[in-house]
A and B are shown apart, each in its own frame.
Chain A
Amino acid sequence: MYKRAQWQWLAAVLLLTAACKKDDNNVTKLNYEDGVSTVIHDLAGDTEASVADGVEGKERRPFRSFYFKLSTKLQSWDSSSTFKQSNNWDLAFTDIYNALVYVNNGSGEGPGKGGAGKGLIMSVDTAYSKVTTAPDAVDFESANLGFAGWDGYPQPYNKGWYFYSLNTHLAIPIKNRTFIIRTADGKYGKLELINVYQGNPPAVTDLFWPAPYFTFRYFVQEDGSHNLKTP
C-alpha cells in the first residue's frame, strides 16, 4: 500500500510538472510586410518634450509637430507656414506624443489650412488587408474626420487610432481599425497606425516605455484609382 501510494504520487507530480511546462513569453511579433505596403518602424517623434511641470533637464513645452510625406517616406520638422501649406507632406503628427494625426487639407482645420492639400481621412473597423476600396469623393468628404487621435475624444464620434487606459494610463492602439486616406495630391490610400511605443510591443508593461516612436503602415494607389487591394 505504502509503495503503491508513493508511485501514485510520483506519477501525479510528473504529470503536473508536464502540465505546467514553460509557455512562450506572451510576445508575438507581427509581420506587417505584405509586399506592396510601406511599413515604417520606430519613427521618432518629439522625444524630448514634456507635458508636465517641473521636469528637470527640459523645459515644459508643447510637442513639436512633424510632417511625413508618404511617397518619399520623408519626415520633416519644418513648421513654417510655407511648408505647412505645401503639398510636401501628407500626414502631420501633432500634439501630445505627436499622436494626433492630421491629413493635409487646405480647406479644413489643421496644419494644412490655407494650402492646396486635398487630404481626407476616415476610419473603418476592418483589418487592413480587407480594406479594398476607397469610397467616392462625395461619400469620403462627408465621412472625413480631418484627424485621427484619441478615440472618442473630444467627442464620442471622433474615431481615433488609440485611447488612454484609465487603469494603466498608457496609450493603447485600437486593433483592426484602418484609415482610408487621400493624400495631399489627391491619391487614395489606406493607413494603419500601429503603435506609439518603441519596438511596437503587444502590450506596454512599463510606465516609462520610450515614446513616441511610431510604427505604421500604408498603401497609396499611385494610378489614382480607388482600388486599395493589398495581399
Chain B
Amino acid sequence: MRTSKEFYTLLILCCSGLCAYSQSDTSHTLKGVEVKAVHLETLSSRAAMPVTVIDRKTLEMMGSRRLDEVMREQTGIAIVNDVSAGARAIGMQLQGFSSDYILVLIDGQPMIGRNAGNFDLSRITVSDIERIEIVKGASSSLFGSEALGGVVNIITRQKIDAAQGQAIVRYGSQHTQDFTVEGETPFGVQSGSRQSNIGNVNDTRDYKGTLSVSGNFYRTDGYNVNSFLSKGATAPPYDSYSLQGRLRYTLNAKNSLNIAGRWALRNSINESVYSSSQVTNTTRDVLHENDINTAIVWQADVNKGWQLKTQYYLTRYSTTQDVSTGKSTQLTSNDFTQYYHRFEEQVRYVVSNQLSFAGGAGGNLEVMDGNDLKSEYGYLQGDWKVNSRLSSRLGFRYDHSDFYGGRLNPSAGLKYSLSEKILLTAAFGTGYKTPDFQKRYQVFTNPQAGYTVLGVEEVASQLTAMQAAGLISEVRPVAKDIGIALKPEMAVSYNAGISYTPVPKIRIDVNGFYNQLHNFINTVQIATRTNFQPVYSYINLDRSFTGGVEAGISTHVIKGLDVAVGYQLLYAKDRGIMDAIRKGAYPYDKIRNNNTGETRASKVSDYFGLENRSRHMLHLRVFYEYAPWGISATFRANYKSRSGYDDANNNRFLDTYDTFIDAYCLVYASIEKKLCKGHLAVQLTADNLMNYTDMLMPGQPGRILMAGVKWRLFKQ
C-alpha cells in the first residue's frame, strides 16, 4: 500500500515539474533560488565544488524563523535526530554525511558547540542572515579540511547603502513567538568612490562606514509527536535571545576595518511525562546554552593587485544540559565550555583578469575544559581562466596538529562551456578530520544501557583497572590492536555535472557525486563486563561511501513565477558491512524475517544502507510574486522516501525486516502582502500544512501556522 502511495506522490511531483517545463513562452532571467554552480565573490565560498545559494529574498518569502527550518527544505539535506545521543541531539545531514562532518561557518569562521557531533541549527535565527551558501562534498582549500561532507556558510547582513530599520513580529501555533528589531546605517560621507575590493561584498561606496545592529527573541512550546507522552515535547520547547552587530569602517583609501559580534542564549526546560497503566514517570531535561562569536578583520590594498587581510576570530560556546527523573535522580549531564581562537593572515593577488591567487596561513587554539588543542594551517588557491570557454581552480591546504602531524589536501575544479547552452563542470577534493577529544580520552558508562565506552588512549589503563576490579569477563583479541593509533578520517569527493539551458528561462542541472570515507571511526566491542554489558572503544574501519545524483530544473516562464524541482538519489553504505555479509561473519550472516520468525542466510543485496538516509528526495518549489498588488506567495513540497530507523532482527545491518521511517511528504506555504508603499507587510505562513508527523521523527514538528507583521522604516 505504502509503495503505491510513494509512487503516486512521486508521479505528481514529476508531473508538476513537467508542467512547469512545458510552459515556455515568455523570457525572463532566473533568480537565485535554485542550485547554481556560481562563482561567488565571497571568500568562504570559493569552492571547487558546486555551491547552492539561498538568498535573502527566498528566506523572506519562505517566512522561516530558524536555520533548521530553512535547511530542512533544501535538496540533498535532511535534519535528523541522533537518538543514541539523547532528545536534543539533532543535526544536518548532507549528501548522506552526518552532521559530524559538516562544517558550519558564520561569515567564513567556524561555529562550535556540538552534541555528540551534532550541530543543532535551530539555535541560529534567520533574521540577520543575508545569504546562505552550501558546498557539498570535501573541498578543503579555503575553509578547513575537516569538512569532509560539506560546508554551510551563513553570511550576515552586508549590503548597507541607506539608513533603514525593520521590526518583525510573528506569532503562531505552539505559542511560537518571533520578534526581530534591526537597524542599519551608513555614516561619514566620503568624497569620491572607493575601489571595490576583490572578492568581497563590501559596497560602501560613498560612506566611510556602516553599522548594523539586530536583536531577536524567539520562543516555542516545542512539539510532541510521541503519543506515549502525556506531557512534554519531542522537539523541545525553548526560548532564545540573540544580538548581532557589525561595524565596517574605511580608514583610508586602502585600509578598512570590519568588526562583527554575535551573542546568542538559549534556555530550554522540557518535562516529559510518560503515563501508562498506573505508572507515571517524569523526565526533566534542562538546557542552557551560550554562544558568542566575534571577529576583527583588517583589510588592506597594499599594491596594485595585492591585498592583505588580517583577521582574529574568537568564539565561545558553553552548555549545561541535565536530564533527571521526577525523583530528582540525575540520568545524565553534559556540561562544557569551549573556546576557539583563530588568527589568520591572507594574501590575495590578482595578476590579470585571467589569473588570481589567494593564500594564507593561520593558527587555531581550541580550549575545552582544560584541554588545549593547537593546530596550524596554510593554503594556496589559484584561479585561472584559460580561455573564454575553460576556467580552472586548483587549491591546496596544509593542516598540522601537534599530535597527528601534517597533512596536505588538494582540491580542483574545472568548468567548460561546450556551447552557450551547455556548461560542464568537474571537481575533486579531499578532506581530513582528526579524532576529537572524546574519541581519545573519554571514559563513559551509559546509565541506561550499562555499556562502557573508552577513548583509545584510555583503553590499556582502564581495561587493566577494570580487570583488577573483577568487572571484566572477557577481553576480545581486537583490544590489542586499539592502542593509540587511531588514524584521522579521510574523505575523497568527486563531482561532475552538466548545466543545460535550452531556452533562457529554463535551466537543467545534473550533478553526479561520489564521496569515499576512509578510516571511518566507528565503535568496536573490545571486552565484555561481568554484567554481560560490552565495553566499546573506537577503531578505524575501512570505508563508507555516499554516492548519487542531484538534479534540478528551474524555470521562470511566467512573469513573477519561479518554479524549481530538485531531486537527489543517494546510496550511502558501509563497505565493512558489505564485506562481513560476503564473508558470512556473525551476526551479519543471517537475516530474520520478523513477520514469520524464519531465518535465512543474508546476501549483500539485502543490505539497505546506512540508517536515516532516504534514497530519494524530491523538492518542488513554486514562488510567485505579483508586483502591482505587492503580493507574493510560495508553495513548497518536500518528499523523502523511506529511511532506516534501527535494526530489528539483530544482524547489525539494515534490511527490509528492520524498523523504517515511512516515506513522507511535507507541504509548506506562505503568502505576503505589502502595504503602505512597502513600509508594512503582512505575512501568513504554514509549515507542514498537512500536519504529517511520525513518532520515529521526534524532531519534526507538525503543522505550524504563523502570522507576522513587518514594519520597515526607510527613506523613499
Contact = CB atoms under 8 A, between A and B. Distances in A.
Contacts of B698: 205-206
Contacts of B234: 205-206
Nearest to A162: B650
B112 interface: no
Given A26-B695, A166-B652, A207-B87, A198 B272 contact: no
B43 interface: no
Interface size range of chain A in the complex = 35 or more
Given A13-B635, A25-B694, A163-B650, A51 B279 contact: no
B597 A23 contact: no
Interface in B555-595: 557-558, 586-587, 592, 594-595
Interface stretch (B222-230, B373-381, B412-420, B544-552): B222-230
Contact of B690 (A22, A42, A211): A22
A213 B594 CA distance: 23
A188 to B, nearest CB: 20
A149 B532 contact: yes
Given A17-B689, A25-B694, A51-B531, A206 B16 contact: no
Contact of B597 (A9, A163, A176, A205): A176
Given A26-B695, A95-B531, A1 B25 contact: yes
A20 B667 contact: yes
Interface in A28-54: 41-42, 44, 48, 50-53
A74 interface: no
Given A52-B447, A96-B532, A169-B449, A198 B330 contact: no
A201 interface: yes
A56 interface: yes
A208 to B, nearest CB: 5
B225 A154 contact: no
B444 to A, nearest CB: 8
B695 A25 contact: yes
Contact of A25 (B225, B278, B329): B225
Interface in A158-203: 163-172, 174-177, 198-203
A51 to B, nearest CB: 4
A41 B276 contact: yes
B83 interface: yes
B274 interface: yes
Contact of B272 (A50, A127, A206): A206
B690 A20 contact: yes
Contact of A167 (B84, B329, B694): B84
B649 A199 contact: no
Interface stretch (B5-13, B296-304, B362-370): B5-13
B648 A175 contact: yes
Interface in B631-664: 635, 637, 639, 645-650, 652, 659, 661-662, 664
Interface residues of B, number: 94
Interface string B296-336: 00000000000000000000000000011001111110000
B596 interface: yes
B654 to A, nearest CB: 9
A165 B330 contact: no
A207 B84 contact: yes
Given A203-B645, A208-B331, A26 B274 contact: no
B422 interface: no
A9 B622 CA distance: 9
Contacts of B13: 16
Interface string B660-689: 011011110000000000000000000001
A176 to B, nearest CB: 4
Interface string B416-454: 000000000000000000000000000001111111000
B667 A213 contact: no
A17 B620 CA distance: 12
B274 A210 contact: yes
A19 interface: yes
A177 B650 CA distance: 13
A2 B558 contact: yes
Interface in B227-252: 227-228, 234
A78 to B, nearest CB: 22
A16 B620 contact: yes
B227 A25 contact: yes
B419 to A, nearest CB: 29
Contact of B650 (A51, A151, A198): A151
Given A5-B23, A5-B558, A205-B83, A211 B694 contact: no
Nearest to A209: B274
B199 interface: no
7 contacts: A1-B25, A20-B666, A20-B690, A57-B330, A168-B83, A172-B650, A200-B276
Interface of B: 5, 8-9, 12-13, 15-16, 19, 23, 25, 81, 83-87, 225-228, 234, 272, 274-279, 281, 283, 285, 323-324, 327-332, 445-451, 473-474, 523, 528, 531-534, 557-558, 586-587, 592, 594-599, 611, 620, 622, 635, 637, 639, 645-650, 652, 659, 661-662, 664-667, 689-696, 698
Given A56-B330, A174-B650, A205-B226, 5 more contacts: A22-B691, A27-B227, A164-B451, A200-B276, A207-B448
Interface of A: 1-2, 5, 8-9, 12-13, 15-17, 19-23, 25-27, 41-42, 44, 48, 50-53, 55-58, 62, 95-97, 100, 124-127, 149-154, 156, 163-172, 174-177, 198-211, 213
